[in-house]
Amino acid sequence: MKIFTSGLGLALALGASSAQAFNQEIRALFQPDPSQPSKNLFVNQTPNSGYCANFPPQCASANMFSIELPVGYSSTRELMPGDDISVQVPADWRRLTVTNQETQETETVEVRITGIGSNYILSDTVENLTGVQHPTGHDILWTSLSGWLYAPPPCQGTSVSGYSARTYRFFWQTPSQAPCTKTAAFRIPSMYFEKIDFAYELRTPNPLSMSSGLYTGSIAYSMGPGGDFDMGAAFQPDDGRLSLDFVLDVQHTLKVDLPPGGDRVLLEPEGGWMPWIASGRKPTQIFRDQLFYLSASSRFKVTMMCNSTGGSRCKLNSPKGNTTEVETFLTLPGGISGPSGGDVKQLMLLHDTWIGPFQPSVYLDRKAGSLRFAVPKDAIDFLLRPGLSDTLSGNITIIWDSEV
């Protein structure tokens, strides 16, 4: 008997370019982890830049990632006392469809923007604009909640700031899509937001239910007044659109290991042949349970191949011309549901017929299952005839396939 195994690799990628847009790739990976079998999540592989690169503990605790875009926003006119700068980002969850390029299966990914920051640059020193040196000059330059360290509601501050005579760095969390507004207290001839630093959060599909392959898709955002990333009516961006192109690489495992000698199976009655030889008492069962170890992180199917014309029975033959039949039953480790739901115990396999899908609920790492090879009762009666002495053999191949 031979068992073939196959590996399963899953990749999800979203990527599409848009004319006159800035494209940013976001890459994530799923690989089953034997030390955390219940962790069925993608791991973001995109290098952090901006806020999370500078403050990784704060982002890790909030499952947040950040990207600094080389896109600036320039004021189109001078700001007068009483003029507002209303910062707004797409903080609500947005969906996009990703497609497997081989199978054309689709899944859904969700993303939301959870923070926004930048470094603003003034046309003159804050002392010349307000008559007060920094940092106090930056505070009184605005009428609302002092400087940009303090986020106006509904935004929330992060205690991140850095400043010079002309510049001020800030980062705000954005729990709501409503605008967060600062109001100028002095005349500002011109102002520039140098780069945009945004944080994001992802919701990815369950990788255990996905097929192997590369999934692709994209989501586009508008930038500028009235757009998704809006830094105020008086500010125009260098680029009008932002495209987030996701690449999610999923690498599943499907592997079957046999113990040493497990590819040779000897069928016999429970307790051996001696009761039959010694007393002629016919056994009720002739079988063997063969252990195997399964590692699986995604759905799979199983079939059996043997010298059969179909159905559940494979043939064993001898050089003397004698023949008998064997049936094969599959038992899988706990945590795997079968085609009809529930655990898989003593499921009969059929020649050249795929059975499945079998779906793991968590990653299984070398968990024990078994194959029972049993001679049917009518075949036992035919085989154990008076005067018959023979050895019969045959090959049964069990094929495991991740392509369901």
Residue 145 has a pLDDT of 65
* The token pair that represents 330 in the structure block: 């599959």
Q: How far is CA 358 from CA 28, 102, 245, in A?
A: 26, 21, 32
More confident residue, 200 or 62: 200
Residue ranges per structural domain of the chain: 9-250, 254-401
Residue 404 has a pLDDT of 63
Residue 15 has a pLDDT of 30
Judge contact between 293 and 48, C-beta under 8 A.
Answer: no
How many other C-beta atoms are found inside a 10 Å radius of the C-beta of residue 165?
Answer: 15
- Give pLDDT tens digits for 300-320: 999 999 988 788 899 998 888
Pairing of strands 191-203, 106-122: antiparallel
Strand partners, 140: none
What integer best gives the mean pLDDT of the chain? 87
Cα distance between residue 167 and residue 147, in whole Å:
12
CA atoms within 13 A on the CB side of 327: 16
Residue 375 has a pLDDT of 92
Strands of 91-240 (E only): list them.
94-100, 106-122, 156-163, 167-173, 180-183, 191-203, 213-216, 218-222, 235-237
How many other C-beta atoms are found inside a 10 Å radius of the C-beta of residue 43?
Answer: 14
More confident residue, 382 or 119: 119
pLDDT above 90: residue 369: yes
CATH fold, domain 254-401, is Immunoglobulin-like (2.60.40)
Which pLDDT band, with edges at 50, 70 and 90, does 355 fall under? very high
Residue 223 has a pLDDT of 95
The pTM score is 0.76
Which pLDDT band, with edges at 50, 70 and 90, does 321 fall under? confident
Least confident among 179-193, 204-218, 363-377: 204-218
DSSP per residue over 307-336, as a string? S-SSSSEEEEE-TTS-EEEEEEEEEPPTTE
DSSP per residue over 111-143, as a string? EEEEEEEEEEEESS-HHHHHSS-TTHHHHHTBS
Residue 16 has a pLDDT of 31
